[in-house]
Amino acid sequence: MGTISSKNQDSSSNGLRHAAGDGVLYVSLKMENPKIASDLIPHVFGSLPIIGSWDSSKALSMQRESASMWELSFIVPPNHETLDFKFLLKPKSSGEPCVEEEGPNRLLTGGSLEGDARNALFRTGGADEEALEYRVFIKADIVSPFDLAASWRAYQENLKPSTVRGIPDVSINSTPETEFEVGSLELDLEHYVVPAPASACSGAVYAANLTETPRYLRSGIFSKGDASSSSHGSSKGNVLSAEHVAPRKDIEVIVPDHSKVFSASGMVESKSVSTFSQLQKQDGQRGLFVDRGVGSPRLVKSASASAFPNDLKLDTEEKKAMPAAAGAVQAAAIADRMHGPKEDRKLAIVLVGLPARGKTFTAAKLTRYLRWLGHETKHFNVGKYRRLKHGTNQSADFFRADNPEGLEARNEVAALAMDDMLSWMQEGGQVGIFDATNSSKTRRNMLMKMAEGNCKIIFLETICNDVSIIERNIRLKIQQSPDYAEQPDFEAGLEDFKTRLANYEKAYEPVEEGSYIKMIDMASGQGGQIQVNNISGYLPGRIVFFLVNTHLTPRPILLTRHGESRDNVRGRIGGDAALSEAGEVYAKKLANFVEKRLKFEKTASIWTSTLQRTILTASPIVGFPKIQWRALEEINAGVCDGMSYEEIRKNMPEEYESRKKDKLRYRYPRGESYLDVIQRLEPVIIELERQRAPVVVISHQAVLRALYAYFADKPLIEIPHIEVPLHTIIEIQMGVTGVQEKRYKLMD
């Protein structure tokens, strides 16, 4: 806080009489406006030389005490002469424009304001423009000179560097000594935007499009390298969409005879559909589709392949790519494996809910979280299967419960997706997120029968009673869903979707069976409730904990490394170095950036590690609470701490080579691996998901790679190689449409 103390001036000269022996007055002036965020900073000017002797260019700046409160405190003797002053608004780093408050001077006598503490009104535009209004508070306490001296000493001691790191443990709103001229930024932050990498967060893409592609559509499905759904779950590389797949010459097409297949393979006919799906493997053969539906997918058996796709062994590269989770997650998985029934090791989270209840966004978030923890997880969206099989022009009638063709076609693609998921589980997949309305008991029974002996099912029902949220989701659906991509008339699309929704509502049967989690009005993150039934085990418990803490309310998360450190300059890793000169300039620019970027935010918080390079980087930021996380500490290099990579290569070649070969799993002797860092960051991720206000995370290279990978849904194997340059802010926009990113490079 800014403090003025009346210097030992001759009282006759400045009108302040020193009351011999009396206490002194600790006066605090405050101005507040929770809404206004302008570049104009509140100042005080008035009769005393220390507040400019009515020269506005020498006015004293108030300090931001919080996002909406400005404060100036000073000490005067209780019987001081009346202090004439007024409030003033002017920019931090220039004299113009300078706006004086309306009304007469304010008079402060003996620590109290004469008359009422009227609000401060400023007319920054024309006479007809609405005035800016700040509430004014005045507080004056008599403190004895001894108390004051003692409190001043205590204040100084409190902020003396902590014995461990030489940095204040608590640094809330500490005012930086130096001016910001080196940190001044362009007014328009867009000036600093740099292109995000091609593989950046893809929030702008319709979430369902990023889910699994039906197996029958993958070209070259039997070719050796075909484990094309790369281990982190999204199918990449040689997967083609339906219209591109040319029938392969060397592939024999089998559409088995219904009667024979039924009796031979012990298949179960689901009541309401004519499609059969895979069950136990019979002598090396997998259960096949018998399909009398519309345009059934042709299951193919390659003349050259030794086995069916579901027998494909993930090749060593793929298996290697997805490491087993580490730490607590690994321990629990091993425990479950040792004791749990076989099908419990595979988990299907089956979404249930009416359209426009956030199922797909919830499924995508959960998929990201589980993958990031090292669980082989995939998101299957039945809507995508339907579109690829039947096109995107189904009208609302297709979704009527009393439309047999539509019902059959919808159950057929649901069974197809479920079958793909179970096949994938047989190849090593662990958690399948099955995303569809699954709105009838019949449909859910079909899925449970298919899962029997293969995996455990937990239903995840999303219920929303907030009409405004539903309306928002419906509009997003019409804007983004391929179902309405060819519909030029938004209102017509809206009408059709609402009819589709009504068709589902007529036949909707809430979940009452099996293991289930109900999320009721959780989207906003405020209120709402979760109901669980028959949930047990480590992983289901983690899933419930994650769902309790997440919401879909948009807010930015700003990720940045600390300013360049002296060890960065010297090429030394780890350590606890202070900032280089360039790093100090970045710290000031960052403070300026945060002030501009978050000026319309009522609250936000600044998270750092406990290493001084992050705390010093955060130091110039004022107005937001700062929190030090040990979990945000840089990867522990153990015995290599403080060394350069060259020194490690020379003195510990075997360590250097091991790390180069497998940087994800490699653990420094008496140090950490990237998997260890991921494990200790899980509470940080949960808290970031829980936050509704913006967060600025100032941390380190390895840590930010891991955090960024979570939001960008990057495969674990890529994490140690993600570019996280210095002096760059990665803004993650978390919201209903998923995760989008924007990058600002404040300096080279």
Ligand X SMILES: O=P(O)(O)OC[C@H]1O[C@@](CO)(OP(=O)(O)O)[C@@H](O)[C@@H]1O
**Active-site residues: which are they?**
435, 464, 562, 634
CA distance 632 to 637: 14
**b/e per residue 651-690 (b: at least 16 CB within 10 A):** ebeebbeebeeeebbbbbeebbbbbbbbbbbbebbbbbbe
| 617 lines the binding site for ligand X (CB under 6 A) | no
SS3 per residue for 622-648:
CCCCEEECHHHCCCCCHHHCCCEHHHH
C-beta of 63: minimal distance to ligand X in Å? Answer: 31
Nearest residue (CB) to ligand X, 299 versus 577: 577
Q: Is 565 in the site for ligand X (CB under 6 A)?
A: yes
Binding mask 636-675 for ligand X (x = CB under 6 A): -x--------------------------------------
Q: Which is nearer to ligand X, 181 or 723 (CB)?
A: 723
Stretch that binds ligand X, among 311-319, 382-390, 499-507, 565-573 (CB under 6 A): 565-573
Nearer residue to ligand X within complex by CB, 430 or 701: 701
Chosen residue from 368, 589, 700, 727 binding ligand X by CB under 6 A: 700
Q: What gap in Å lies between CA 502 and CA 496, rounded to an integer?
A: 10
Q: Which stretch binds ligand X (CB under 6 A): 366-374, 378-386, 568-576, 711-719?
A: 568-576
Report which residue type is found at 57.
Answer: S
Nearest to 518 by CA among 530, 528, 509: 530
Q: Which stretch, 122-130, 483-491, 587-595, 699-707, contacts ligand X (CB under 6 A)?
A: 699-707
Q: Is the peptide bond before 404 cis (omega within 30 degrees of 0)?
A: no
Q: Which is nearer to ligand X, 265 or 580 (CB)?
A: 580
Considering the complex, what minimum distance in angstroms separates the CB of residue 611 from ligand X?
7
Q: How far is the CB of 51 from ligand X (least distance, A)?
A: 44
Tokens linked to 350: 């089956």
> Binding residues for ligand X, how many (CB under 6 A)?
12
Longest Cα pair distance anywhere in the chain, in angstroms?
A: 113
Candidate ranges 363-371, 397-405, 423-431, 560-568; the one touching ligand X (CB under 6 A): 560-568
| DSSP H helices in 52-132 | none
Cβ closest to ligand X, residue 423 vs residue 565: 565
Chosen residue from 106, 379, 384, 561 binding ligand X by CB under 6 A: 561
Burial of 20 (0-12, 13-18, 19+ CB in 10 A): exposed
Smaller CB separation from ligand X, 347 or 585: 585
Binding ligand X (rule: CB under 6 A), the pick from 381, 701, 737, 740 is 701
Q: From CA 111, how far away is CA 75, in angstroms rounded? A: 9
Closest by CA to 329, choosing from 230, 424, 423, 431, is 431
Over the window 473 to 502, marking each residue x when it contacts ligand X by CB under 6 A and - when it does not, the resulting string is ------------------------------
Residue found by looking up tokens 């702008």 in the block: 204
User: Which of the stretches 74-82, 318-326, 355-363, 700-708 binds ligand X when contact is defined by CB under 6 A?
Assistant: 700-708
Question: Distance (Å, rounded) from C-alpha 674 to C-alpha 146?
Answer: 54
The least distance separating ligand X from the CB of residue 743, rounded to whole angstroms, comes to 17
CA-closest candidate to residue 455, choices 359, 372, 341, 352: 341
β-strand partners of 742: 731
Rounded to a whole number of angstroms, the minimum distance from the CB of residue 519 to ligand X is 37
Q: Which of 568, 580, 592, 737 binds ligand X (CB under 6 A)?
A: 568
Q: Using the minimum distance from each CB to ligand X, give the nearer residue, 305 or 573.
A: 573
Stretch that binds ligand X, among 51-59, 245-253, 313-321, 697-705 (CB under 6 A): 697-705
Q: Which is nearer to ligand X, 525 or 642 (CB)?
A: 642
Q: Contacting ligand X (CB under 6 A), which of 287, 574, 583, 620? A: 574
Q: Is 583 in the site for ligand X (CB under 6 A)?
A: no
CA 667 vs. chain centroid, Å, equals 27
Output the smallest distance, CB 663 to ligand X, in A. Answer: 7
Find the shortest distance in angstroms from Cβ 574 to ligand X.
5
Q: Which stretch binds ligand X (CB under 6 A): 16-24, 66-74, 650-658, 698-706?
A: 698-706
Question: x/- site string to ligand X, residues 506 to 545, per CB under 6 A?
Answer: ----------------------------------------
Here the tokens at position 431 are: 């958690």
Please tell me the distance from the alpha carbon of residue 624 to that of residue 593, in angstroms, as a whole number.
Answer: 13
Burial letters 299-329, b for 16+ CB under 10 A, else e: bbebeebeebbbebebeeebeebbbebbeeb
Sites for ligand X among residues 711-730 (CB under 6 A): 720
- In total, the chain counts a number of residues equal to 748
Q: How far is the CB of 710 from ligand X (least distance, A)?
A: 17
Indicate which single residue of 24, 27, 373, 702 sits in contact with ligand X (rule: CB under 6 A). 702
3-state secondary structure of 490: helix
Which residue in this structure is represented by tokens 């239903």?
459
Residue 75 or 611: the one with the smaller Cβ distance to ligand X is: 611
Q: How far is CA 226 from CA 156, 222, 388, 418, 680, in A?
A: 66, 6, 20, 20, 34
Q: What letters, b where the CB count within 10 A reaches 16 and e where it falls short, cover 484-493?
A: beebeeeeeb
Q: Look at residue 561 and give its three-state secondary structure.
A: strand
CA–CA distance, 232 with 224 (Å, rounded to integer): 19
Q: What is the three-class DSSP state of 285?
A: strand
* In the complex, least distance from residue 674 CB atom to ligand X, rounded to whole angstroms: 7
Min CB(668)–ligand X separation in Å:
9
Sign of the Cα pseudo-torsion (227, 228, 232, 233, in order): negative
Q: Binder to ligand X among 273, 366, 604, 635 (CB under 6 A)?
A: 635
Q: How far apart are CA 435 and CA 437, in angstroms?
A: 7
Transcribe 128-190 into DSSP letters.
Answer: TSPPEEEEEEEEEEEE-HHHHHHHHHHHHHHTSPPTTTSS-S--SSPPPSS-SGGG---S-GG
CB of 677 to ligand X, least distance (A): 9
**Cβ distance 439 to 502 under 8 Å?**
no
Whose Cβ is closer to ligand X: residue 214's or residue 323's? Answer: 323
| Interacting residues with ligand X (CB under 6 A) | 561, 565, 568, 573-574, 634-635, 637, 700-702, 720
